[in-house]
Structure 1
Amino acid sequence: MKRVSVVFLQAVLVLIGVVTLSLLIWLPLTEGRATNLDLVDIYSDKFILYGYTTSIPFFVALFMAFRLVGYIGQNKVFSPTAVEALKHIKYCAIILSALVVLAGAFIRFTHNKEDDPTGFLAICIVTTFASIVVATAAAIFEKLLQTVVDMKSENDLTI
């Protein structure tokens, strides 16, 4: 793979991380009830803290994707480290989807009867679906890559 492509993909991953982090910092300030609160009260809200905790698997998976693209650039794509990176991405996606489902269930069953949780639940459904797609793709690629790594190691032993 060309070095320019690898650097471009890594730059896109860094951009995704920076945009996500800035949204995590900025969005709590725009929340409706945040107008009457100071910064400590806004960022110490239990649900905001849960959102930050939930974002940890996302950033770990993003970092693993960054490393995986680096392995591709170094022609180490058929190595056990690449398989491990895909395994971590798969587990992070599964954890993220479970945490988002828990948040959606919490909001669904404990929301104020005057509030309409439909928008939040729709975001939860889309995020869960995207995480499941990423986990499935990572599992498929992990299995394929593990097969290739096993075949490569057998081939190295016979020569």
Structure 2
Amino acid sequence: MNVKLGSTFFLKAVVCLIGIAVCIYWLPEAARRDAIVRPGDYSLYPLLVCAYGLCITFSVALYQVFKLLTYIEKNNAFSELSLQSLKVIKKCAFSVLFFILLAIVYLRVRAQFTGDDAAGPISLGLMGILATSIITAIVDTLQKPLRSFLELKPQE
């Protein structure tokens, strides 16, 4: 097994583990726990919509990362397919930002009416926005040279 194949295999395994941990275990467990603690509380539905929307877009982004690693493994890193994967990852990152902002706004409005302190969840949301913004900047930075390389490459 050469180094590139081993490193892409490791990254693929990490992507799969992140997908399993976040979207299969964490979200359903949190929803189940909240339903047990607050039966009949319908004010949590907007947060669940945001959480499931975030989870779906996060899963799509992880799948695109997996595809991108497959392209790198097959020496197609500088291809139109890789550029398409980066575009989808960037769109998913913006969708994740939207869902996080929507949840923050809902938490802030709910805190005004109920008197709860929403500083903790809001600060976690702001950290999520920071992390997602960094990922978006990295993807954009990777996308620009790849696009210019594909424009300069002679068509076959």
Q: Same fold (TM over 0.5)?
A: yes
In the alignment, the residues of structure 2 paired with residue 91 and residue 46 of structure 1 have an alpha-carbon distance, to the nearest angstrom, of 22
Corresponding residue of 1:27 = 30
Could you tell me how far 1:139 is from its partner in structure 2?
0.9
Rounded Cα–Cα distance in structure 2 between residues aligned with 1:101 and 1:35: 25
Structure 1 residue 36: Cα displacement: 5.1
Q: Report the equivalent of 1:74.
A: 74
**What's the secondary structure of 1:45's corresponding residue?**
helix
Moved over 3 A (4+): none
**Deviation digits for residues 50-103 of structure 1 (CA, Å, limit 9, x no counterpart):** 311222111111110010011000000000000110011111101111221111
How many Å apart are 1:45 and its aligned residue?
A: 3.3
From the superposition, tell whether residues 52 and 94 of structure 1 become closer, same or farther in structure 2 (CA, over 3 Å). Answer: same
Aligned match of 1:142:
143
2:94 maps to what in 1? 94
**Amino acid of the structure 1 residue aligned with 2:83:** V
CA RMSD of aligned residues (A): 2.2
Contact residue 64 and residue 85 of structure 2 kept, 8 A: yes
The number of residues matched between the two structures is: 151
Query: Are positions 1:5 and 2:7 aligned together?
Result: yes
Q: Look up the equivalent residue of 1:26 and give its one-letter code.
A: E
Q: Is the 8 A contact 2:71 2:82 kept in 1?
A: yes
Contact 2:65/2:89, CA 8 A, preserved across alignment: yes
Partner amino acid, structure 1, of 2:102: L
Q: Which runs of 5+ in 2 are unaligned?
A: none
Pair 1:115 & 2:120 matched? no
Unaligned runs of at least 5 residues, structure 1 = none
